[in-house]
Amino acid sequence: MSKFLEIDHVSRVFKTQNGKPYVAVKDVYFEMKEGEFVSIIGHSGCGKSTVLNILSGLDKASAGGIVLEGREINEPGPDRMLVFQNHSLLPWLTVRQNIGLAVNRVLKDLSKEERHRIIQENIDLVGLSHAADKYPREISGGMKQRVGIARALSIKPKILLLDEPFGALDALTRGRLQEKLMHICAENKISAVMITHDIDEALLLSDRIIMMTNGPEAKIGQVLTVDLPHPRKRLEAVNHPNYYRLRGEAVNFLDRQKKIKLEKAKVQASSVISIGNIEKTNLTIGYIALTDCAPFIIAKEKGLFAKYGLDVTLSKENSWNDLAEGIREGRLDAAQMVTGMPLAITLGMGNKIPVPVVTSLTLSRNGNAITLSKKLQDEGVRDLASLKEYIENNFKDSYNPALGMVHHASMHNLLLRHWLASGGIQPDKDVDVIVIPPPQMVSNLMANNIIGYCVGEPWNVRAVISNVGFVVATDLDIWRGHPEKVLGVRKDWAEQYPNTHLELVKALLEAAQFCEPIQNRDEIVLTLAKREYLNLDPVYIRPGFAGPYRVNTMESKYENDFCQFGIGNMPSRKEHLWVLTQMARWGMVNFPENYPEVIYNLLATDVYQQAAKELDIPISDEDKSPIVLSDGTVFDAADPISSLQSLPYSQFQEALHFDSAKGFAHRKSVVRS
């Protein structure tokens, strides 16, 4: 479908009594297709109503503009109808007369008979034929709101604007009216933009949800595509496997905005502390509660951050998406990241604004596994071949089974997809690969929302010990020694605080070296188990950290090499280039024509080398030999495009030039899969 509505980099500045400008919204941009239903959510003061008022023509943008079907709009018009939270009916007019007020004004060129027909048609549409000649005082609140919707629809606007239209209604009336509106919009292919504070309402009605950051200078922080099937009914939507994942993303976004507001208040209350050459000592670092967060926990518990002059607050994030947004938004100074996340944020994966990120340290290697439901094991699934047979026999004529992973740019996703493809199972066609936060994997497996997942520990071992799942493969069976977690900071942060960056790398590198010897692992297990970190019984942590690793209730393997921390800590060009090619293989990003420049700017190897030198850790030249995976796949960093073209199910088509400030441009159509 073609572009229908464009909010083109809109900003709105208000004058205040003290003469200082107040920027309510800044550089808001999004496009909308005809027939789409879009909701806008965000905390109070985030500019939702400002955007809607500019859309309706009741207010004007200070910069940018609104384009509807190729025509710029800057004043009210019948092509946009606004439905307020208050029904705004004239009390001296009946239901029929209130609707007729709009019809007779806007459609005055039509005959009287035709106008009467349109009025009655819209009365019937909202189910108010029995109350057509009653006055507002004689009907309920829900009925009044239906009159407002009928009045808006009667003049056939190109877009319906809804300002919390159900906010004042009781729950039962609200639910009925939501379903009525959903049915009307679907039947008549009506486009709509709605402001709401109700996440469940937004999920039920919307095709996309626009989530606004805090004001002032509010902007679009995230756009959530609601991939629930149509037509929708409330109970069916709530029970869909994707519902609570989507709801969780929206709730987490709003929670992040609360945290950002609190952090800004702290910054305003106290200035940034500096000591000696260290530009900034008080840092907030994000991590996910997995066993391989150990270097961060050890650096905190063993006083290594303090040793290098840093006062660190560790922020336990709910999901990898929350963590990535924390870096993008500047809430976090640094973070534990899945390997592909620095690239994903730098390239603007997911149609986001590119934010250059650098990584100066590989924190861990290995540590993931693919767990399948015990139900599949009972059905005879033992390996990749039997999994393929099971999928073909059980899902051929129905919906795709789903497998969970933690983030699109994670090694969990990339290795899971590679493993599936190597066995003739095509991701996104034969199976759905969906994002689920690590702590929710086991519960989703038990609820049969997914048939399996790829995640780090302790969530594989927990499924095994609870006898609800079994490990069908580990990453050591796919690519032994792959990079798993890395340190990530924004490039502008690294440039502003170079000495802070160096001391942070030194603290974490020393912590990673402490985590490597097997004799230290039991002590670390008890530390990780603490309430403020993983908050788990050590029985779930130890197998995936100190070995032996449990793959099912009867079998263990990998005595002490399932996860590694003090080996290969210098960021590797060829490894990150492999990640980039895999992201392009599955259509997550365009492959950059200038990929050597992108990888060079991504890796802060100079910072690592200086840290290693000061810690007396030997520095080796990078091994430039090809990467060979367990299935025999060969990746040659000297010719990544050929490697990319040779892979099955590759979605790679063309190389584009990447500009870190503008994103991708300049198509170069010389390489095709």
Identify the residue with better confidence: 672 or 38.
38
Q: Is residue 224 part of a domain?
A: yes
What number is the average pLDDT over the span 623-642? 92
pLDDT in tens, 638-658: 999 888 888 999 887 666 777
pLDDT of residue 125: 73
Strands 311-316 and 282-287 come out as parallel
Strands 37-41 and 191-195 come out as parallel
Report helix, strand or coil for 465.
helix
Domain count, the chain: 1
Using the predicted structure, report yes or no on whether residue 273 has a pLDDT greater than 60: no
Q: How far is CA 513 from CA 295, 322, 363, 636, in A?
A: 9, 28, 10, 30
pLDDT of residue 270: 47
Domain hosting residue 62, numbered range: 3-79+157-255
pTM: 0.68
Q: Is residue 395 part of a domain?
A: no
Q: How confident is the model at residue 123 (pLDDT cuts 50, 70, 90)?
A: confident
pLDDT of residue 661: 65
pLDDT of residue 564: 93
pLDDT of residue 265: 65
pLDDT of residue 129: 84
Identify the residue with better confidence: 149 or 608.
608
Q: Is residue 191 part of a domain?
A: yes
Q: Which residue shows structure tokens 């997942």? A: 453
Q: Which of 34-48, 149-163, 544-558, 561-575 has the lowest mean pLDDT?
A: 544-558
Closest CA to 667 of 596, 591, 595: 591
Q: Is residue 526 part of a domain?
A: no
Classify residue 30 by burial, with Cβ atoms within 10 Å: 0-12, 13-18, 19+.
Answer: middle
Q: How confident is the model at residue 544 (pLDDT cuts 50, 70, 90)?
A: confident
Q: What percent of the chain has pLDDT over 90?
A: 48
pLDDT of residue 668: 44
Q: How far is Cα 63 from Cα 25, in angstroms, rounded to an integer?
A: 10
* CATH number where 237 lies: 3.40.50.300
What number is the average pLDDT over the span 130-157? 82
- List all residues 6 or more positions away from 214 whose beta carbon is below 8 Å from its beta carbon: 42, 43, 45, 46, 257, 260, 261
Show contacts of 439-447: CB within 8 Å, 24+ apart.
439/289, 440/248, 441/371, 441/404, 442/466, 442/468, 442/469, 444/241, 444/404, 445/371, 445/373, 445/404, 445/469
Using the predicted structure, report yes or no on whether residue 272 has a pLDDT greater than 70: no
Q: How far is Cα 533 from Cα 672, in angstroms, rounded to an integer?
A: 47
Q: How far is Cα 356 from Cα 328, in angstroms, rounded to an integer?
A: 9
pLDDT of residue 169: 66
Using the predicted structure, report yes or no on whether residue 153 has a pLDDT greater than 80: no
What number is the average pLDDT over the span 654-669? 63
pLDDT in tens, 28-71: 888 888 889 999 998 888 888 888 888 888 888 888 888 888 88
Q: Which residue shows structure tokens 């149509």? A: 230
Q: How far is Cα 115 from Cα 352, in angstroms, rounded to an integer?
A: 46
Q: What percent of the chain has pLDDT over 70?
A: 93
Q: Is residue 51 part of a domain?
A: yes
The mean pLDDT of the chain is 87
Q: Is residue 20 part of a domain?
A: yes
Report helix, strand or coil for 123.
helix
pLDDT in tens, 376-423: 999 999 999 999 999 999 887 777 899 999 999 999 999 999 999 999
Q: How confident is the model at residue 559 (pLDDT cuts 50, 70, 90)?
A: low
pLDDT in tens, 426-453: 999 999 999 998 989 999 999 999 999 9
Using the predicted structure, report yes or no on whether residue 310 has a pLDDT greater than 60: yes
Q: How far is Cα 372 from Cα 431, in angstroms, rounded to an integer?
A: 13
Q: Is residue 520 part of a domain?
A: no
DSSP code at position 364: E
Q: Please name the residue ranges forming H helices in 155-276.
A: 171-188, 199-205, 234-238, 243-269
> Where on the phi/psi map is residue 45: left (φ > 0), alpha (ψ -120 to 50), or beta?
left
Q: Is residue 669 part of a domain?
A: no
Report helix, strand or coil for 361.
strand
Return the half-sphere exposure (C-beta side, CA atoms, 13 A cut-off) of residue 478: 28
Q: Please answer whether residues 503 and 308 qualify as being in contact, where contact means their C-beta atoms are separated by less than 8 angstroms.
A: yes
pLDDT in tens, 207-226: 999 999 888 888 888 888 99
Report helix, strand or coil for 546.
coil
pLDDT of residue 159: 86
What number is the average pLDDT over the span 256-277? 66
pLDDT in tens, 86-116: 667 888 989 888 888 888 887 888 888 888 8
Q: Please name the residue ranges forming H helices in 107-242.
A: 112-125, 141-154, 171-188, 199-205, 234-238
